[in-house]
Amino acid sequence: MLIDAHAHLDRYGDDLPGALREIDELRILTLTNSMDTPSYRANLEIAGRSPLVLPSFGVHPWNAGDYVGRLDELEAPVRESAIIGEIGLDHRFVEDAERYPAQREVFEFFLAAASAQGKLVNLHTSGAEELVLESLVRHGIERAIVHWYAGPLDTLAKLIDRGTYATIGAAVLSSEHVRSIAQKIPDGLLLTETDNPGGSKWLTGEPGRPRLIEEVVRALGEVRGTRPQSSRERRLDRHEVRETGEQHHADQRSGPRHPR
């Protein structure tokens, strides 16, 4: 089975039915991340259409400013969601430092909740990698996926030391830095992702299709000197993700734990 550990299926719009068909045909276990509460509601609905899709709730650092002062509204969806994401800090694409305190406040809220509830977090770290690491340590977060890591190699080494999972996506096809990162992540902590549909759009101008994950697996095989098949055979990482997913779908069958 293929794993897409970081996507945004709610952003497919009219292309969603086709994307879901591809996910089902290729058997791609897909973590669909949320940017805010409307995005989470959309992802929940999408997850109801395929057992291969796992939704997670988070507020992206780009949207943090909208939620400062109303963090209590986030408590119910956080409790409901088996995985927390996308959350994090962004000091690279967000250049206006006046927005950083809001990012920090929202991120701290989510980390405190994830720590108390023992939940896996899906992290955005652009330009703030060391700050994110420091926050994970301070909150004692043990289960974390760093998505599309492109920061300094020494911070990556510290994240790996803590057992943090890291995703490699389509940037492995074009970025030398990401290729060198892809060589440093141990087998048991390596996950594949697409950041679909926007990740590919950012890289190539075209929205990504779910089957992009096959290209990522192939490229990773080349970069790491392993056959693609052997990347697919790796089990350690995906075992944990699958268990969390089974929990989500079991919870959905037994009904929501609070009214939406």
Q: Which of residues 41-80 bind Zn ion (CB under 5 A)?
A: none
Cα 236 to Cα 65, 191, 248, distances in angstroms: 37, 10, 19
**Choices 77-85, 134-142, 188-196, 249-257 (CB under 5 A): range interacting with Zn ion:** 188-196
Minimum CB separation of residue 238 from Zn ion in Å reads 19
Residue whose CB is less far from Zn ion, 65 or 221: 65
Residue whose CB is less far from Zn ion, 36 or 195: 195
**Choices 75-83, 85-93, 166-174, 227-235 (CB under 5 A): range interacting with Zn ion:** 85-93
CA distance 4 to 167: 9
Tokens 């990522």 appear where? 216
The size of the interface with Zn ion (CB under 5 A), counted in residues, is: 2
Residue whose CB is less far from Zn ion, 58 or 224: 58
Which among 73, 68, 70, 41 is positioned nearest to 57, based on CA atoms? 41
* 227 in Cβ contact with 38 (< 8 Å): no
Degrees, nearest 5: CA angle 87-253-213: 45
Q: Which of residues 203-222 bind Zn ion (CB under 5 A)?
A: none
What's the distance, CA 167 to chain centroid? 8
Minimum CB separation of residue 148 from Zn ion in Å reads 7
What is the binding site for Zn ion (CB under 5 A)? 86, 195
